[in-house]
Structure 1
């Protein structure tokens, strides 16, 4: 068994995975469980998951189909509720928030990038990005400058006047990324952000996310089945049977070497892995 997943603590799904450096985490997941069904037929989608994400980290979540990775993302995104345990974002326990508080929390603290960009078809690129700022209550005289700045950084200035049907898949995803970043959320959640893109568009999108992380200091948690996409992250948590099975960190290694290490673990888990591009 490769060293990356040789320890008994990891193999047993032990908890306590944390960022290095003793930094106060942006996200802290503490022993969460998600149980579906009744007493006669119970499914543990999540079975005691714990980990921390530090400010400025880019963390990937991987695992075979049915492992619980999407359920985990939905719980962190407050789309779903946990059966037990706690999730803290920016030190605030979101598992105790009421419906109105949750809506405000999603608006102010979270950014979302979905597999389908989820842009509003009746708004152009500029309006899709600026809507996030308007909803958050940003001063009207500051919105245009912020939209143009983030659009230029992510390479979509030339499509700000276009509507989603006039954009390529990659352009729509980068507009969605700009929308997610415009309101400066504490945490950006990405759900298979390259799943609907061709190889070239996927690479451009991943480079844009990497830029968001490096230049803007965005904290990103990305769920993906794609080892190539995961290699753009700095740390990967592997979920198996509703528990954290293992983690690996990129450190100072190249992305190519990190990809190889990811592929080793994915192959061991028996999950799907996309070819290197």
Structure 2
């Protein structure tokens, strides 16, 4: 399978000469097309910095990040904006929906910004909503929806443009257990049925167990990697917890 994301020897420093912090330390990895990768690590491990660099919100100090054949570390600002709009989908912990727009309008906005023909927008929104089982809330405003519904609307907005890579930052962090499960089952379905490529940062082992592969980050480096393979989700969860134990403490302490 071709690589959608290739990170090569990336490093990220913060501070000045007198006080330098290395947030990412010579880190390399690949995400293949159709993969579902989770990133876990202790607070301060570099996982959020890594996601910010991949999402083009921040830049690496050295090294290269290639997404769908384009080296984003070499793109100028005006090209980065287009790249971000066309190639990436974002799912945030706090939903980031516009309160004055309905669910339909929030999803459609992503297509409008991308320059999609108005005649195609309605059908694309409807099709995506059906995949995420949110057709019933398309005419509702965010304040009329549950947290789980809002997050699935945010997910629909992220995938409706058919991006090369969907980046999810703690997507279940603001959800109860039932809403979390429904969202993760939606992610699993998108990944398996549509081959959507997902890179997800999470502190939660249950959430991570829905991924196909987990990268554990510690001190800016890859500490360990797990591949789900033929394991059941429960078996994979148990393996994730074993790595959490190696890092020290239980999930709540470490992550």
CA contact (8 A) 1:65 1:271 kept: no
The aligned residue for residue 26 of structure 1 is 4
The aligned residue for residue 175 of structure 1 is 153
The aligned residue for residue 20 of structure 1 is none
Structure 1 counterpart SS, 2:108? helix
Q: Give unmatched runs, 5+ long, in structure 1.
A: 1-22
Structure 1 counterpart SS, 2:59? coil
Q: Write the deviation string for residues 11-53 of structure 1: whole angstroms up to 9, x where unpaired.
A: xxxxxxxxxxxx2200000000000111111100000110000
Q: CA deviation at 1:273?
A: 1.9
Q: CA deviation at 1:140?
A: 1.1
The aligned residue for residue 13 of structure 1 is none
Q: CA deviation at 1:77?
A: 0.2
Residues 1:247 and 2:236 are matched in the alignment: no
The aligned residue for residue 198 of structure 1 is 176
Structure 2 counterpart SS, 1:239? strand
- Partner residue of 1:186 out of 151, 158, 164: 164
**Aligned ranges for residues 143-154 of structure 1 at < 5 Å?**
143-154=121-132
Structure 2 counterpart SS, 1:130? helix
Give the 3 Å change call, closer, same or farther, for CA 271–74 of structure 1 in structure 2: farther
Give the 3 Å change call, closer, same or farther, for CA 64–180 of structure 1 in structure 2: same
**Aligned ranges for residues 93-172 of structure 1 at < 5 Å?**
93-172=71-150
CA contact (8 A) 1:64 1:271 kept: no
Residues 1:218 and 2:196 are matched in the alignment: yes
The aligned residue for residue 40 of structure 1 is 18
Q: Distance in 2 between matches of 1:266 and 1:65?
A: 13
Give the 3 Å change call, closer, same or farther, for CA 243–140 of structure 1 in structure 2: same
Q: Write the deviation string for residues 61-82 of structure 1: whole angstroms up to 9, x where unpaired.
A: 0001110000000000000010
Q: Distance in 2 between matches of 1:92 and 1:271?
A: 40
The aligned residue for residue 51 of structure 1 is 29
CA contact (8 A) 1:31 1:48 kept: yes
The aligned residue for residue 80 of structure 1 is 58
Structure 2 counterpart SS, 1:147? helix
Q: CA deviation at 1:137?
A: 1.2
The Cα RMSD (Å) is 0.9
Structure 2 counterpart SS, 1:257? helix
Q: TM-score, normalised by structure 2?
A: 0.97
Q: CA deviation at 1:166?
A: 0.6
Q: CA deviation at 1:154?
A: 0.4
Q: Distance in 1 between matches of 2:249 and 2:39?
A: 13
Q: TM-score, normalised by structure 1?
A: 0.90
The aligned residue for residue 273 of structure 1 is 251
Q: Distance in 2 between matches of 1:34 and 1:270?
A: 25
CA contact (8 A) 1:187 1:220 kept: yes
